[in-house]
């Protein structure tokens, strides 16, 4: 199945935002056996929209359009589409009812623009958009499926996952594709590739292995294409096991699990409570943990000790420790751990102190120097990272390592054999 993507909106053309939607859609479509042949980014231009649509309909089986469905005057996608298909726009009462309900609940009034947003092309099948007020629209024209969605990423993603892909799978014959994704943390792409090189080289032609790195984690995705569902699944299982047996200590989960979910599951399994003491990560670790629903079952809270004053006053880090070793040191994070265990009364605590950058580095402790420690009443493990100069990347990477250290600590300290399900 050939797909062409059209993104509508000036903000991409003037470089104000980067088009991340197309990459996301491309990946999702690939997983579903469809191939993106072209991505066009154009402005809110009536004629250009129609010209581009015409060319796309000619070349592709599926055309995905994002953008231009908002309530303001620069949003002209709907009109351009309706005119191209030669249909009228009609008022869609249910869409308006829905907007009214949402606004009622938040105690605000709707405007004329909201009414205008509810006119839909007569030939459109509406696709439910849980994340926003503008529904997606599905059209069929000249044997091509055209789907129009809002450009706001979380709205587009919802419609793609819940409405578009299921319908596309029904509409088009897709050769079975099966994936098995192994999630690893702790080593980079090249090292892992080296360690499993022979397994990769011996994969049959119809099974591919992709390495998808992201900030300290690498996803290994095996993809099998073919005719026989049962055979494909068995093969995937076989090669997956070969990889797992080769690099067991790097694996933290499968498919779409996040490290935070896995950590949460482990803590809950062992009836443990966690607290964090963060300096340079500034709450990011706590945020990762609390993004998971139900985290109050295993997470009590954090002290973000951004200033040294707080490290001393709240966490009991000794002034002499800070004077002698500095805030970014092993003794400091070890004291932060014991202080947190005591103050927040949890079973396990993790502490991080480092120099996120871009400023603050010294010759002895350059930007990117981060100390981590995780411990319970009996034992504390500590580790030093030497990262780069990018502040945000350092914060995110240190948080990934901290979560992984908690995971490893629970696995090792609480004698878990069955935790990686």
- What residues from 36 to 65 belong to the interface with a copy of itself (CB under 8 A)? 36-45, 48, 52, 55
Nearer to a copy of itself, 79 or 419 (CB): 79
Using CB under 8 A as the binding rule, whether residue 302 contacts a copy of itself is answered as yes
Q: For the CB of residue 56, give the shortest distance to a copy of itself in the complex, in Å.
A: 11
- Pick from 312, 322, 343, 381 the residue near a copy of itself by CB under 8 A: 343
153: closest CA among 12, 357, 320?
A: 12
Task: Indicate the SS3 state at residue 9.
Answer: coil
Produce one character per residue of 315-337: b if its CB has 16 or more CB atoms within 10 Å, e if not.
bebeeebbeeebbbbbbbbbbbb
What is the C-alpha to C-alpha distance for residues 386 and 373, in angstroms, rounded to an integer?
Answer: 15
- Pick from 88, 237, 345, 377 the residue near a copy of itself by CB under 8 A: 345
Nearer to a copy of itself, 83 or 390 (CB): 390
H-assigned helices in 129-228: 153-159, 165-171, 189-195, 197-201
Burial class (CB in 10 A: 0-12, 13-18, 19+), 160: buried
- Pick from 1, 8, 25, 49 the residue near a copy of itself by CB under 8 A: 25
What part of residues 191-250 is at the interface with a copy of itself (CB under 8 A)? 191, 193-194, 200, 208-214, 221, 223
- Pick from 173, 248, 293, 363 the residue near a copy of itself by CB under 8 A: 293
- Residue 59 structure tokens: 């070349």
C-alpha 10: how far from chain center: 25
412: closest CA among 376, 370, 372, 371?
A: 376
Q: How many residues bind a copy of itself (CB under 8 A)?
A: 112
Q: Which region holds residue 221: left if phi is over 0, alpha if psi is between -120 and 50, else beta? A: beta
Nearer to a copy of itself, 215 or 412 (CB): 215
Q: For the CB of residue 65, give the shortest distance to a copy of itself in the complex, in Å.
A: 14
What part of residues 369-408 is at the interface with a copy of itself (CB under 8 A)? 386, 390-393, 395
Q: For the CB of residue 415, give the shortest distance to a copy of itself in the complex, in Å.
A: 26
What part of residues 162-181 is at the interface with a copy of itself (CB under 8 A)? 179, 181
Q: For the CB of residue 329, give the shortest distance to a copy of itself in the complex, in Å.
A: 17
- Pick from 19, 244, 257, 330 the residue near a copy of itself by CB under 8 A: 19
What part of residues 260-279 is at the interface with a copy of itself (CB under 8 A)? 276, 278
What part of residues 86-145 is at the interface with a copy of itself (CB under 8 A)? 105-108, 110-114, 117, 131
C-alpha 391: how far from chain center: 19
What is the C-alpha to C-alpha distance for residues 294 and 113, in angstroms, rounded to an integer?
Answer: 39
């Amino acid at each position: 199945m050939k797909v062409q993507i059209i993104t509508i909106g000036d903000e991409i053309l003037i470089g104000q935002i980067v088009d991340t939607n197309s990459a996301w859609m491309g990946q999702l479509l690939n997983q579903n056996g469809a191939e993106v042949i072209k991505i066009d980014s154009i402005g809110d231009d009536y004629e250009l929209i129609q010209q581009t649509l015409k060319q796309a309909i000619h070349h592709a089986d599926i055309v995905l359009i994002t953008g231009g469905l908002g309530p303001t005057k620069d949003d002209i996608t709907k009109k351009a589409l309706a005119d191209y298909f030669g249909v009228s726009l009609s008022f869609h009462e249910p869409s308006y009812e829905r907007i009214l309900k949402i606004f009622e609940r938040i105690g605000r009034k709707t405007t004329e623009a909201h009414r205008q947003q509810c006119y839909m092309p007569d030939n459109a099948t509406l696709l439910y958009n849980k994340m926003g007020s503008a529904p997606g629209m599905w059209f069929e024209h000249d044997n091509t499926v055209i789907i129009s969605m809002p450009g706001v990423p979380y709205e587009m993603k919802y419609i793609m996952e819940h409405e578009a892909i299921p319908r596309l799978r029904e509409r088009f014959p897709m050769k079975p594709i099966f994936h098995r994704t192994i999630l690893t943390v702790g080593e980079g792409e090249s090292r892992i590739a080296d360690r499993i090189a022979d397994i990769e080289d011996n994969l049959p032609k119809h099974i591919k292995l992709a390495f998808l790195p992201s900030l300290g984690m690498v996803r290994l995705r095996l993809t099998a294409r073919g005719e026989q569902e049962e055979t494909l699944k068995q093969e995937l299982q076989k090669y997956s096991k070969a990889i797992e047996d080769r690099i067991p200590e790097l694996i933290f989960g499968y498919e779409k699990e996040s490290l935070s979910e896995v950590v949460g599951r482990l803590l809950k399994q062992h009836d443990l409570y966690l607290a964090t003491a963060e300096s340079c990560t500034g709450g990011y670790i706590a945020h990762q943990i609390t993004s998971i629903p139900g985290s109050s079952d295993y997470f009590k809270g954090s002290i973000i000790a951004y200033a040294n004053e707080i490290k001393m006053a709240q966490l009991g880090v000794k002034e002499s420790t800070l004077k002698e070793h500095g805030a970014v040191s092993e003794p400091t994070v070890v004291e932060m751990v014991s202080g947190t265990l005591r103050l927040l009364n949890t079973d396990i605590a993790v502490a991080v102190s480092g120099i996120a950058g871009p400023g603050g580095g010294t010759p002895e402790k350059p930007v990117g120097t981060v100390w981590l420690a995780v411990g319970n009443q009996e034992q504390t493990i500590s580790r030093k990272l030497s990262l780069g100069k990018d502040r945000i990347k350092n914060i995110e990477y240190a948080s990934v390592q901290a979560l992984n250290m908690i995971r490893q600590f629970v696995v090792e300290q609480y004698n878990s054999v069955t935790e990686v399900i």
